Chain A
Amino acid sequence: MMDLASHDWRGMNLRFMKREIYQTLDQAISPIMAVVKLLGTWLSPYSCKVIWALKLKGIPYEYIEEDLSNKSPMLLQYNPVHKKIPVLVHDGKPICESTVILRYIEETWPQNPLLPIDPYERAVALFWIKYADDKNPLIPKLYRTTGEELEQAAKECSEILGTIEEHGLIEGKKFFGGDEINMVDIAFCIVAHWLGVFEEVAGIKVFEPHKFPKLNSWAQNFKSVPVIKENLPDADKIFAVLKRRRETLLAPKSN
């Protein structure tokens, strides 16, 4: 990097000067500005999980909105195996799969920890994060199905909520993380916010507050946390998109 202050500018042509200055500034600024990038979509819960983790830890990042109907070359290059968002890029190296990303963030920026330190407590937290990861793909079936399939999806969803209510939540604890949210709370975000939209789109009610009181309490608390509240995609906007998707999916196929 050239030392701008002591450089001899006399006799140097203007274009060359400008180029040298910009390159020097770019080298100084890039490491600070573009170190963390996130490829995501505004309505994806998986994308939101990463945003929340970055914000809770105060990590600046550049956000890039992907159009999944027209995937960018960058996305395909960074995630050739799954071709999905979110992808976190740190110092040019991509990390894929939201839970893998969150654990990477946790280990790279340990401030404001999102996992317990004690190995046993951590194992319990990871168990519930895995449970959420395994069951999350089943919940959107609510808005994608109808008739018998929808009934089956609703039954599965109810069982999932029941398991969390019975085994996952501890009476008196505000969050899975205790007094503050942690990675487990984040993992169950679909239950807290997106599930309500799926129910509206499908015209079916599964998450009844009186059936799952602890879970209901938790969901209200979770959505009131400032970082979550300020970075939650608008339910009406999600509704509009998913309603259209449902109509397309369930439209009678032409022969």
Chain B
Amino acid sequence: MASGEVKVLGTWASQFAMRPRIALNIKSVDYEFIEEKNLLEEKSQLLLQSNPVHKKVPVLFHGDNKPICESLIIVQYIDETWSSGPPILPSDPYDRATARFWAAYLDDKWYPAVKSLGIAEGEEAKKTAMAQVEEGVALMEEAFGKCSKGKGFFGGDEIGFLDIAFGSFLGWLRVVEKFNGAKLIDEAKTPGLADWAERFCSHAAVKDVMPDADKLAEFAMIVVAKIKGLGLAAQSL
């Protein structure tokens, strides 16, 4: 079963690093959080050795196992390894497929649009990126209605896989709203998500790992400046 020390390598600001931490909290598993200090400019030896393919956080270390990479894969590993704790993935295969479909949509289609919005130059570029981001949020509002089946989370009564996948973006979403003077999740446009967001952020498994919005906004300005300055592609985020 599950034996051995658990460590998560990540950063305080990374929405991806937040995901395994939420999962471990749900399962009441103690872990050590190792902060990667200078992700953009100088990656640590530990990171380069444990994730040579992508050189990205998060990385999970569990006992004697070799490191596990990719945030949602780590979440699934945590769910399967500590199977006696509260379940993270839904039990029905079709519900699991739905959760995975939306998680893939968020990471592969929606988040790149959020990133482009962050570094977009000029009104046209901003408008295009914003439209894509808004479309995604509208789809998630609809998905919330179907997945939650009247309950408080995508996972039903309790936080599940899709809550973690989408909820981890909430901090950065608030930063995007602030910088663009826009409201993406609010009572008027997305009532389901507005309530869900509050519920998610105040959940015991989430509140200590969700970064403070102002701190994140400050950090975002530094990151965007660095990305533009270093001429890095948005992929490096």
Contact = CB atoms under 8 A, between A and B. Distances in A.
- Please say whether chains A and B are actual partners in one complex: yes
Interface of A: 81, 90, 93, 95-97, 99-101, 103-104, 107-108, 119-120, 122-124, 126-127, 130-131, 163, 167
Contact of A120 (B52, B68, B104): B68
A81 B65 contact: no
Contacts of A104: 93-94, 96-97
Contacts of B237: none
A103 B96 contact: yes
Interface residues of A: mostly helix, strand, loop or mixed? helix
B68 to A, nearest CB: 5
Contacts, number: 59
A163 B101 contact: no
Contacts of A126: 70, 73, 76
5 contacts: A93-B94, A95-B94, A101-B97, A104-B93, A127-B69
B126 interface: no
B104 A119 contact: no
Interface of B: 52-53, 62, 65-66, 68-70, 73-74, 76-77, 80-81, 93-94, 96-97, 100-101, 104-105, 139
A78 B155 CA distance: 23
Chain B facing A: main interface SS:
helix
Nearest to B64: A120
A107 B101 contact: no
Contact of A97 (B81, B94, B104): B104
Nearest to A107: B93
Nearest to B97: A104
Nearest to B77: A123
Contacts of B66: 120, 124
Contacts of A93: 94
Given A96-B101, A127-B68, A127-B70, A107 B96 contact: yes
Contact of B80 (A90, A96, A103, A119): A119
Nearest to A120: B65
Contacts of A103: 96-97, 100
Given A81-B105, A97-B101, A167-B52, A123 B73 contact: yes
Given A120-B68, A127-B69, A95 B80 contact: no
Nearest to B69: A127
Given A81-B139, A95-B101, A163 B53 contact: yes
Nearest to A80: B139
Contacts of B97: 95, 100-101, 103-104
A130 B70 CA distance: 9
Given A103-B97, A126-B73, A163-B53, 20 more contacts: A81-B105, A93-B94, A95-B94, A95-B97, A96-B101, A97-B101, A100-B97, A100-B100, A100-B104, A107-B96, A108-B93, A119-B77, A120-B62, A122-B80, A124-B66, A124-B68, A127-B69, A127-B70, A127-B73, A130-B73
Contacts of B105: 81
Nearest to B89: A107
Contacts of B80: 119, 122
A111 to B, nearest CB: 14
Contacts of B73: 123, 126-127, 130
